[in-house]
Structure formats: structure tokens, C-alpha cells
Amino acid sequence: MAPRKDAAKEEILQRKGEAERKRYQKMINDPRKTEERREKERLKCLEINEKGTRKLVNNMTLREHRDAKKKRKEHCTKYCNKNKVLLTH
């Protein structure tokens, strides 16, 4: 019984991914929706900057900057390794 459930779950995820890709493709092809998406992203960035949730490098101490670089490097390494695994399969 378990293998059938796993197969069904994978199939559902696959269909969901395809639907998401189609939706995103429609959004990219429509200039109005693309402009709306860009405006949303811009407003999101402005909101983050106003709240001060993300510090700018100019406002960081040396230690904070070093820690931020370390986290960024770990994240990028993890992301690259994940994509390498996906590309080989």
C-alpha cells in the first residue's frame, strides 16, 4: 500500500509543479502582470529597508559583516550542491 501512496504523491507534486510553471509563464508573457510583479517586489524591498529588518553593509560592524558573508557562503554552497544533484538525475 505504501508504494502506491508515494507514487500518487509524486504525481500530484509533478502536476502542481507543471501548473505553477504555466501560471508563471503566463505572468512573464503579460507585460501588465510583469510590471505589477516588479512593483510588488520593489514595495517589499522598500518595506524591509524602512523596518530595518535587513541591515545594510555600511551599517554593519566588521563582525556582523563577517558573519553575514559566512551565512551567505554556506547558503550558496548548499544551493549549488542541491542543483548539482538535481541536474545529475
Q: Would the pTM count as exceeding 0.85?
A: no
Q: Which amino acid is at 22?
A: K
Residue 68 has pLDDT above 50, yes or no: yes
Residues 63, 65: Cα–Cα separation, whole Å: 5
Question: For the residues 67-86, what does the mean pLDDT come to?
Answer: 92
Q: Looking at residues 10-23, what average pLDDT do you find?
A: 91
Widest CA span in the chain: 58
pLDDT interval class at 54 (50, 70, 90): confident
